[in-house]
Structure 1
Amino acid sequence: MTRRLLWGRGLSALATALIPTTLTLAVLRIPGQGSGGLGVVLACELVPLLVFLPVGGVLADRLRPERVILLADLVRCLAQVAIGAELIAGSGRLAVLAVLSAVSGVAIAFGLPAVPRLVAAVVPASDRLRVNARIGVVTSVSGVAAPALAGGMAMAVGPGWAAALTGLLFAGSALTLGGIRTPAASTESRNEAKRFGRELAEGWREVRVRPWFLRSVLGHGVWHFTAGLFLTLGPLTAVGRLGGEGAWVLVAQAGTAGLVLGVLLAPRLPIRRPIVVVQVAAALYALPLAALAVPLPAWAVAGAYFAAMCGLGVLSPLWETVVAQEIPEGALGRVRSLDQLISFAARPFGLAVAVPLAGLTGAAGLLLAAGALVAAANLAAIVRTPAAPLPAEPRRRSPAPGPRA
């Protein structure tokens, strides 16, 4: 079951990571379309995603999570195949790409909150940190490999075929994750007759009675916002003041290495207060922001970014595990949809306002303020956090000693 879960999440992560590069290259090839057209297409996916995430959270708690994921990934498969057919046929109409991107955004909103429920339903509590760490490794590798794969295919055979491959991967994800069967305790809710508004309010009530969760989520939202600032101003600073494009490549590669290392370390660390570790890890993002503000030499910025992304690698599987442990499974989809909503909204906002804000305050001042904000918001969330340790993995029994000679 765990292997099937890892394969399904890996296929879905790779397919999701292929989309931005494929769409970017496809739109830029349309005559008369540039960054404006690309912004429209990307916004058409993001806006429905944000609008329908709360709805997806309710459905994730009401229905079998594997059924929700099956339907969502099949819709994403059809949307990507249609985008591929549009591009291969040579039409490349911006309106068609925008509509299909909006369909994908809705499908993501329905499928995303169901994933934590699926993991919680099929993975024992004692194994979740290890499984979440493995999922994190697969997701990280996919995020690194996908742009190169999409770019290579676009150059060799065109972005339409890259979109078709993405659709095929979503089909594999749908069949893999959709074929998992959750136990009887995780089947459809007995309270299906409840109105949508009431179920949504009950999910919010689960958040209100856990102030530590809301404080942490808001701190993570600040992290995503400052990440948007860094990822926009970082390349500009690297090219202008740190030695060119190679300096930014060094920083980005250091971040990738740190992320993978952190994910691998997470299940091996002796962690007694997981939320404290999560929030300190998020606060580490102040390091690259401050290093870029000075700016320090490229190798120093790369080292700071390595440390911050290593913290993120530890944070991600820990957070997934702790939330699944502390939130009732029947409310997990609704509660996590709030978490995902804040995260998905904050980073694009940071990307959008980075340059205008830097023009008003100066890049150095903005980056220093962002570093102070992300550290303060996440360290403040440590107050009154749950002290319950993570469930220990069961010890494997040693083989019985054989007869002595």
Structure 2
Amino acid sequence: MKPTLRYRRVLWLSYAAGGLSAALTTFALAWGSSRYGAAALGGTLLAGMLPGLVLNLVGGVLADRIEPRHALLAGAALNALVLLAMAAALALEPGPFVFVAGSLALSVLGSLLGSFDYVIPAALFPEGELVRVNAQLSLASDAAHLAGPLLGGLLFSVAGSAGVLVLAAVPTLAAGLLLLGLPPLPRNGGGETLDLAHAGAGFAYLVRSARILRPALFLAVANLFAAAFQVAAPLYAAGLGGVGAYALLTAAMNLGMTVSNLALVAAPLRSSEQLILAAALVQGLALVGLGRSRSLPGAAALGALNDAMANVSGTVFIAYLQARLPQDLLGRVFAAVNTVAMLLTPLGFAAAPWLIERVEPGAAIMALGTGTAAAAALLWFFRDVGGSGSEKDHS
């Protein structure tokens, strides 16, 4: 077996295991905290992203310096311990604080380790294969995400959020162990110390490159609306049939991601800003339709289209960056992009309960879709600003 084929299989299995754990965890956090109201759900989701505003930059330095396999294995072990601790806490004294605190702890780990996921494919595969490789890896986690909400919904009805979290701890540890099947990937960027100069190098590169900064700023706006949608979705689904409707809606959205990744694997696409924005425009329009729908089949179909287009936009954007960034700065620039992309997310989590209290969840979702489509359309008209040239030229 060719080494690159073996590496794809190892990564595919690792992503599948990690995807199953993430799907179960997300279901347990979202549905479990939503039982305490919109404010508890919004607080849980907000806690899940705040650490990234600071720790993403540290994680970027680590990804440019530390061998990724062992870092991700250690992170998987810690992630499993947090999930088990949350399950124990919920069994002893259930309440919204457990969801908020657990979400915060998981986010700390994710912020420190997230940039490693971008470093590994860029180090193993040639530039021309990155869109397809990223789609194949996303497809692996998509397969798990399809089963995750359905399995989570079934287990929740028997053992509650605690049971779902215990199950989620198993595949997250497996995902880390599988990475030991990859070759060593030594890193030599990021300097010798974790100082601000090294952490800020990614930001410095980002602000000098309009063709990278522009889609990153759009992603920040899109994430504002996506964050609010995460709060509105369980409450919207509750009106369609409760936990079963939410599980089916979530599974349908994950199916949309799976179909889009199959298309990306089959189609020889190259990354471009036009494709990123076109997919985001359709995503926003699908979200408008989802908010208008009052039937579960219609909501499921439009939710699938929404997530399919969001996935196309995101997957192409990752390959867009991997193909244009210098290897010794890859982790830090990805960390800077992720930090910029998260800047408005707290506002989405905080504003969603306020919006939902004033209009019903469906109307709120329609407004979020309108904002997403408008932002994509605006950036489309300014996509040629900033000139061209090689983004890999750096000092």
Residue of structure 2 equivalent to 1:144 = 146
Residue of structure 2 equivalent to 1:196 = 195
Residue of structure 2 equivalent to 1:392 = none
User: Which runs of no fewer than 5 residues in structure 1 stay unpaired?
Assistant: 390-405
- Cα deviations across residues 14-65 of structure 1 (Å, max 9, x unaligned)? 1122113324566689xxx666555555544432243312111111112122
CA distance in 1, matches of 2:80, 2:10: 19
How far the C-alpha of 1:299 sits from its partner, in A, is: 7.5
CA distance in 1, matches of 2:96, 2:228: 28
Question: How do 1:37-116 residues align onto structure 2 when only pairs under 5 Å count?
Answer: 40-88=43-91, 90-92=92-94, 98-116=100-118
* 2:330 aligned to which of 311, 329, 332: 332
Question: How do 1:1-400 residues align onto structure 2 when only pairs under 5 Å count?
Answer: 1-23=7-29, 40-88=43-91, 90-92=92-94, 98-183=100-185, 186-189=186-189, 192-193=191-192, 196-230=195-229, 255-271=253-269, 274-291=272-289, 306-344=304-342, 346-347=344-345, 349-354=347-352, 356-357=354-355, 363=363, 366=367, 369-380=370-381, 382-384=383-385
- Conservation of the 8 A alpha-carbon contact between 1:255 and 1:302: yes
CA distance in 1, matches of 2:120, 2:218: 26
- Which has the larger displacement, 122-131 or 301-310? 301-310
Please, what is the CA RMSD of the aligned residues? Answer: 3.9
- Conservation of the 8 A alpha-carbon contact between 2:138 and 2:261: yes
How far the C-alpha of 1:211 sits from its partner, in A, is: 0.8
CA distance in 1, matches of 2:34, 2:299: 32
- Conservation of the 8 A alpha-carbon contact between 1:53 and 1:341: yes
Instruction: Give me the identity figure in percent.
Output: 24
How far the C-alpha of 1:110 sits from its partner, in A, is: 1.0
**Partner of 2:50: helix, strand, or coil?**
helix
- Number of equivalent positions: 380
Amino acid across the alignment from 2:18: S
Task: Give the TM-score normalised by structure 2.
Answer: 0.79
> Relative to 1, partners in 2 of residues 1:15 and 1:194: Cα closer, same or farther, differing over 3 Å?
same
- Conservation of the 8 A alpha-carbon contact between 2:86 and 2:162: yes
CA distance in 1, matches of 2:172, 2:296: 38
> Relative to 1, partners in 2 of residues 1:297 and 1:266: Cα closer, same or farther, differing over 3 Å?
same
**Partner of 2:133: helix, strand, or coil?**
helix
Task: Give the TM-score normalised by structure 1.
Answer: 0.77
> Relative to 1, partners in 2 of residues 1:381 and 1:12: Cα closer, same or farther, differing over 3 Å?
farther
**Partner of 2:216: helix, strand, or coil?**
helix
How far the C-alpha of 1:343 sits from its partner, in A, is: 4.1
- Cα deviations across residues 197-227 of structure 1 (Å, max 9, x unaligned)? 1112211122123211111011122222233
Query: RCO (CA 8 Å, sep 6+): is it higher in 1 or 2?
Result: 2
Residue of structure 2 equivalent to 1:397 = none
- Conservation of the 8 A alpha-carbon contact between 1:281 and 1:315: yes
- Conservation of the 8 A alpha-carbon contact between 2:287 and 2:306: no
CA distance in 2, matches of 1:28, 1:293: 19
**Partner of 1:2: helix, strand, or coil?**
helix
> Relative to 1, partners in 2 of residues 1:208 and 1:5: Cα closer, same or farther, differing over 3 Å?
same
> Relative to 1, partners in 2 of residues 1:86 and 1:332: Cα closer, same or farther, differing over 3 Å?
same
How far the C-alpha of 1:289 sits from its partner, in A, is: 4.2
How far the C-alpha of 1:307 sits from its partner, in A, is: 4.3
